[in-house]
Amino acid sequence: MVGVTHWDAVVVGAGPAGSATALLLARSGARVLLLDRARFPRDKPCSEYLSPETTRLLERLGGGIIDAVAAGSHARLAGMKVVAPSGAEMIGRFDHTGKRFSFALPRTRFDAILRDAAEAAGAVVREGVKVEDLVYDRGAVGGVVAKETYRARVVVGADGLRSIVARRCGGVRTSPPRRVAFTAHVADVAGVTDVGEMHIGRTGYVGLGPIGGGVTTVALVVPVRALPNRPGFFQALEQFPGLAGRFDPRRMVRDVLTTGPFAQWSRRPVAPGGGALLVGDAADFFDPFTGQGIYSALRGADLAATAVLDTLTAGVSLDAYTRARRAAFGGKWLLERLIGLGVGWPALVERVVARLARRTDLADLLVRATGNCVPARAVLAPGVLAGLLW
């Protein structure tokens, strides 16, 4: 394969979305080049929890991925706790038998497993290659430009939040709430259990979850407007009632990684003239609160690979991908946006958390929907939405 200069598909970005797409395409016989500007293992700002339904997607990918993830995941989450600004809290569980749980492992390990699986399936992987532009062939995208030009029948933009492929294709949109995140690994955090924690404050929120070996991933998310007066990382954590006194700053075992602003998506996940599509964060990333990004990246990879193979083998337009995404993600997008906007309103959070502390059935339902165990529409039913408030 090495030496081929004209590929069936060039996939830009070897995160979960790109590696899974490359794996599926290569396994179907396509000649695939997978490019990443980083060298693996590489880190990624994330809370590093794989929503329960992600397990099924990883099993379907095959290639020994699920076994490698299970072996590398020394923490498992059984549900999520949400703490309101007053300190009131609710807990939702993925199920009550312990069978449904979410793996939690460092992205350095998880992403390397997927990247290696793509290579084992036949994709040619080149690291340290930063894509800077697209090339066009009679109006359609026909390849990418890095230090050299790579020509392809289809380009897959899986290059994350700041995707160059998305920007070159046009149609990138942003909306409130504009938030940024600071994530760190901290050892020996007091009171960590097998339930992930989301602490909502008057300005921003914090996600907390174990990733094994006594280490906890801590993600502080704040609005861009709060940045000028931002206290230090640990000082900011101390301001949340459920977090005060739980951290020893000397136990930070990985420096803070910063990313954002979020609430960014592409109006169309397919290039206007054809020849390219977007998957994962490159296509859409609203807010990290619900922790569904890896699920969306893998589910999106499924849809993207199907669309690319239909184009390669039968000349079907990539536009089918736009419709497939809407059908697969419509409810999830709405729920994610309602929750992402809602956590910016402290009074609303207090009300919903107080309500869900009493209605554990609804708390479980909400946590299962954000964990992708049940469809988002189960929560979007008017009766359920009303039940969250009254």
Contact residues: ligand FAD, CB under 6 A: 12-18, 35-38, 44-49, 51, 130-131, 158-160, 164, 181, 183, 219, 259, 280-282, 285, 288, 291-295, 297
- Residue 45 CB, shortest distance to ligand FAD, in Å, is 5
Which amino acid is present at 152? A
Position 19, amino acid: S
Alpha-carbon span 123 to 19, nearest angstrom: 9
Comparison of 130 and 326: residue with beta carbon closer to ligand FAD: 130
Residue type, 173: R
| Cα within 13 Å of Cα(315), Cβ side | 0
CB of 51 to ligand FAD, least distance (A): 6
Q: Which is nearer to ligand FAD, 159 or 302 (CB)?
A: 159
We find the least distance from the C-beta atom of residue 279 to ligand FAD, in angstroms, to be 7
- The secondary structure element, H or E, covering residue 7 is strand 6-12
DSSP-derived pairing of the beta strands 215-223 and 252-259: unpaired
Task: Kindly state the smallest distance separating residue 168's Cβ from ligand FAD, in Å.
Answer: 10
Q: Are 184 and 255 within 8 A, CB to CB?
A: yes
Q: CA 201, CA 207: separation in Å to the nearest integer?
A: 11
| Beta carbons of 286 and 337 less than 8 angstroms apart | yes
132 versus 361: smaller Cβ distance to ligand FAD: 132
Amino acid residing at 43: D
> How many helices (H) and strands (E) in the chain?
12, 19
Structure tokens that stand for 158 in this block: 């899986």
Report in angstroms how near the CB of residue 285 gets to ligand FAD at its nearest.
6
In the bound state with ligand FAD, the residue whose beta carbon lies nearer, of 18 and 275, is 18
Secondary structure class of 164 (helix, strand, coil):
helix
Q: How far is the CB of 129 from ligand FAD (least distance, A)?
A: 6
Q: Which is nearer to ligand FAD, 160 or 344 (CB)?
A: 160
**Considering beta carbons, is residue 8 or 281 the nearer one to ligand FAD?**
281
